[in-house]
């Protein structure tokens, strides 16, 4: 276990998140601020590794750990040299907890497995059913419990289980974990995928308060997320496309419950609203074009007679059509309006529109 703990697992970003970032501009180099400026502005810092180890050793002492357990713990904290970052400290806390707690050991094995268990494929795995009592144990000191939750939350984000990750990470205090940068980064990724704009931007701002202590790979992605979420507007095709991608992700995991159905109805409602607004614009354009090309006067012209007596001022009546059809475009022009919605849009936007029409056709067959 000690050897596995020190393996470099690399940097992992959810597949859906990577697809969203494709084509984004590469961030410029991040300047490193002076140390005094960091201390003045940052609201978080990486805790001292030695102090963290002392707290973990004190916890082992309260458990009456055997001499063998203490030697194994020493190997975890000493054999590979001093921790070089908060990530290293996080791994060593979890590895030490796995020595003395069966539940922590199961969590450790899940998080550090190279792939999901064969019987729990992505389409069937339900992390909500994975209960790790150690994550809620009031008897554990925060230095152990909070860092195990961070480790598990990170794994959930990396495997696209954003709802479950949100439950583990959203209330974790930044000052009570060994790796604050990982907490803020993975929590912002989670909020980004769930379209929780305010929460995402808040975590990103806090993360970038202390840029000198954040891995450059985190900073690069964080700046892309910040630019992306800042530009996200409600009731746009951009938002609808992201919602449909989230629906697809949930269905991929075999989840077709109330939340998915609610999101599907919300997507349909937003597309209905966009089409209705476009139809109104088309109707207004037709009316403006019609009145602009007409030779008929817009107001009655007064008739004159040689004696100066004015005429009745009558004009020929103009048909405005049936009132019951007001606001409805003819089929041909309606099709034109619908095509205007998706032309020149990226492929995933057009897919969203096509999905809308498929659902309309399906509902029409049931009537």
**Residue range 81-117, pLDDT digits in tens:** 666 678 899 999 999 999 999 999 999 999 988 765 5
Lowest mean pLDDT among 122-131, 178-187, 206-215, 239-248: 122-131
Give the pTM.
Answer: 0.66
Using one digit for the tens of pLDDT, what is the confidence trace for 194-231? Answer: 999 999 999 999 999 999 999 999 999 999 999 999 99
What percent of the chain has pLDDT above 90? 38
**In the numeric block, which tokens belong to residue 296?**
């008929």
> What pLDDT, on the 0 to 100 scale, is given for residue 254?
75
């Amino acid at each position: 276990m000690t050897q596995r703990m020190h393996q470099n697992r690399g940097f992992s970003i959810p597949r859906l998140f990577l697809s969203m970032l494709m084509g984004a501009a590469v961030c410029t180099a991040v300047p490193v601020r002076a140390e005094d400026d960091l201390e003045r502005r940052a609201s978080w810092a990486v805790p001292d590794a030695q102090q963290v180890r002392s707290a973990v050793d004190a916890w082992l002492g309260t458990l009456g750990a055997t001499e063998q357990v203490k030697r194994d713990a020493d190997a975890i904290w000493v054999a590979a040299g001093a921790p070089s970052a908060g990530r290293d400290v996080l791994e060593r806390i979890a590895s030490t907890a796995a020595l003395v707690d069966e539940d922590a050991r199961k969590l450790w094995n899940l998080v550090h497995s190279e792939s999901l268990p064969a019987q729990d494929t992505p389409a069937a795995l339900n992390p909500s059913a994975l209960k790790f009592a150690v994550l809620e144990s009031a008897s554990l000191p925060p230095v152990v419990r909070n860092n195990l939750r961070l480790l598990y939350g990170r794994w959930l984000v990396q495997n696209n289980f954003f709802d479950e990750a949100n439950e583990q990470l959203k209330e974790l205090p930044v000052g009570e974990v060994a790796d604050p940068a990982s907490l803020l980064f993975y929590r912002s990724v989670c909020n980004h995928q769930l379209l929780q704009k305010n929460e995402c931007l808040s975590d990103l701002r806090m993360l970038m308060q202390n840029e000198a202590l954040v891995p450059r790979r985190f900073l690069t992605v964080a700046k892309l997320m910040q630019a992306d979420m800042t530009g996200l507007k409600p009731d746009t095709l951009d938002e609808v496309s992201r919602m449909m991608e989230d629906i697809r992700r949930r269905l991929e995991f075999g989840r077709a419950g109330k939340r998915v159905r609610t999101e599907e109805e919300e997507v349909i409602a937003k597309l209905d609203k966009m089409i209705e607004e476009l139809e109104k614009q088309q109707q207004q354009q037709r009316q403006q074009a019609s009145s602009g090309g007409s030779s008929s006067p817009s107001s009655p012209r007064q008739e004159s007679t040689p004696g100066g007596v004015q005429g009745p001022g009558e004009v020929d009546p103009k048909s405005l059509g049936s009132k019951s059809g007001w606001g409805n475009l003819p089929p041909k022009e309606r099709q034109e309006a619908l095509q205007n919605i998706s032309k020149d849009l990226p492929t995933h936007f057009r897919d969203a529109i096509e999905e809308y029409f498929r659902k309309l056709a399906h509902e029409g067959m049931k009537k």
